[in-house]
Structures are given as structure tokens and as C-alpha cells.
Amino acid sequence: MIEMKNVCFNYENGTCALRDIDLKVADGEFVFIVGQSGAGKSSLLKLITRENVATRGDVVINGYNLGKMSKKEIPSFRRTIGMVFQDFRLIPSMSVFDNVAFVLRVTNYSNKYIKTRVPYVLDLVNLSKSLNKFPNELSGGEQQRVAIARALASDPPILVADEPTGNIDPELSMQIVDLLVEINKYCGTTIVVVTHEHELVRSFGGRVIGIEGGKIAFDENVVGKISSGEENKKVVGGANER
């Protein structure tokens, strides 16, 4: 669950990146966040992941009140969020298996768990046959699928993806979002995708939150692959009353 109440965020140099943000994303939702460059999308994601802390207001994610959380709690909080980046951020010297296993090893999961969990998440992203390959042997789309598997390794309730299709050919971009939609349906993971690719958003539809000048400019449901008009009516209003 993502909840923001009356949130503002200013950078140290005084830039007001976000203001008056009231937002609720329920467990199991799939949400696009759109907006032009400089609108505040990354700043919003960084509040969700607690890379930054709100200057004002409350940010509550997966039951953690991020403004009141102690430093000690940050690692366990972070494990409740999977992250996917535009530039994949895989370790080139590690195999696909080890890239995914790495995040579990550093957080002290048992070898027994790793041996079953890593093949399972790589199967979810259709890369069962590439466990022993290295990132440079994979296409951009495949590398992003490894990054998605890595983000899912510790079974987080929320996955946030920052421009996940930014470095991928347009036709493969659709497949990446298709995969995220499948994961949302199959695993129940709440998924937040930041993108500026309007065509992608129009095609998939569902809940679309627009950021302009640091504010939520719209929060609406678009008819597309994800949702029919009927489903839309339920989500609007209930999810974010403004």
C-alpha cells in the first residue's frame, strides 16, 4: 500500500519538486505515472523508496511511516520494494543466475531458498534457458527481464519501475509492460511504472496519474488492454479522492 498525505518535497537548493500530493495506491493495483521531463516523477518515486524524505506530509509505504522510521529499519523496509531502472543495472561479470541470486545472498537468504527461488523468478520472466548467460549475451529486452526477476527475488509487495522501457526497442517495450501486467495479475504485486511513453500508456490504459509542475494534474482510468470502462469506474474516486 502506498499512501501520501499533503506531501511536499523541496531539494536542498530550494527547488520545490513536489507539492500537495495526496495519493493512495491500493495493494495489487497497476499504475502508470506520466509527465514531462522535470515534472517530478523521479522525485515521487524517490519518496516511495525513501531515497528522499518528504519535507512536509506523511508517506506511508507497506505500513512503514517513512518520515518517522529509524535508520535501522531502512534495510527491512527496502526489502518490501523491488526496483527496476531504465539502464537495467546488472552486474556484467555475473551470470543471469548470480545477478538475481546476489540480492538474496547479501540479505542472508539461505542457499536452499536461493536454489529454488532464482529459477522460479527467472521462469516467470521466461528466461529459464538463460541462467548461465552473461548480460552482454542478452538483448536489451532480455536484460530488463533479468532486472525484473531480480526485483521480484525477495517477493516484495511493491515493484516500482523508472522508465523501464527507455532503453528498449519500441516493439519489445510492449512485451516488457505485458510482462509487468502478468506479474501484477499472477503474483498480486502492486506495480508503479513511471514512463513518458504516451503510446504505451494509451495502449495499456488502466490507472494513469499525471504529474505536472510537481502536482498531480490528473488521476484517471484509461480504457485499454488493462481495463475495460466498467472496471475503471470502481477505481476512480475510491483510490484517490481529490
Q: DSSP letter for 130, please.
A: G
Q: Counting contacts by CB under 6 A, is residue 39 touching ligand ADP?
A: yes
The cell for 97 is: 543466475
Q: Which is nearer to ligand ADP, 39 or 114 (by Cβ)?
A: 39
Rule CB under 6 A: which of 42-101 touch ligand ADP? 42-43
Pick the piece of the chain touching ligand ADP (CB under 6 A) from 13-21, 93-101, 106-114, 120-128.
13-21
Amino acid at residue number 186: Y
Pick the piece of the chain touching ligand ADP (CB under 6 A) from 9-17, 134-142, 177-185, 201-209.
9-17
* Residue 148 Cβ vs ligand ADP, minimum distance, rounded to whole Å: 21
- Identify the CA nearest to 218 among candidates 34, 63, 40, 11: 34
Pick the piece of the chain touching ligand ADP (CB under 6 A) from 39-47, 72-80, 110-118, 170-178.
39-47
Q: Counting contacts by CB under 6 A, is residue 157 touching ligand ADP?
A: no
Neighbours of 44 (CB within 10 A): 28
Q: Counting contacts by CB under 6 A, is residue 40 touching ligand ADP?
A: yes
Q: Which is nearer to ligand ADP, 29 or 163 (by Cβ)?
A: 163
Size of the site for ligand ADP (CB under 6 A): 12
* Backbone φ and ψ of 125, nearest 5°: -100, 15
Assess contact for 176 and 149: CB atoms under 8 A.
Answer: no
How far are the Cα atoms of 95, 132, 141, 149, 167 from residue 137, in angstroms, in the given order? Answer: 10, 10, 12, 17, 16
Q: Which is nearer to ligand ADP, 13 or 116 (by Cβ)?
A: 13
Pick the piece of the chain touching ligand ADP (CB under 6 A) from 11-19, 56-64, 66-74, 152-160.
11-19
Burial category of 186 from C-beta neighbours within 10 Å (exposed 0-12, middle 13-18, buried 19 and up): exposed
Assess contact for 68 and 87: CB atoms under 8 A.
Answer: no
Q: Counting contacts by CB under 6 A, is residue 37 touching ligand ADP?
A: yes
Q: Which is nearer to ligand ADP, 37 or 108 (by Cβ)?
A: 37
Q: Counting contacts by CB under 6 A, is residue 110 touching ligand ADP?
A: no
How far are the Cα atoms of 137, 162, 175, 199 from residue 195, in angstroms, in the given order? Answer: 27, 7, 15, 10
Q: Which is nearer to ligand ADP, 40 or 156 (by Cβ)?
A: 40
- Identify the CA nearest to 219 among candidates 7, 8, 16, 21: 21
- The residue assigned the cell 543471469 is 96
- Identify the CA nearest to 30 among candidates 166, 204, 172, 212: 204
The correct pick among 41, 117, 150, 207 for binding ligand ADP (CB under 6 A) is: 41
Q: Counting contacts by CB under 6 A, is residue 210 touching ligand ADP?
A: no
The correct pick among 38, 119, 140, 157 for binding ligand ADP (CB under 6 A) is: 38
The site for ligand ADP (CB under 6 A) is made up of 11, 13, 15, 17, 35, 37-43
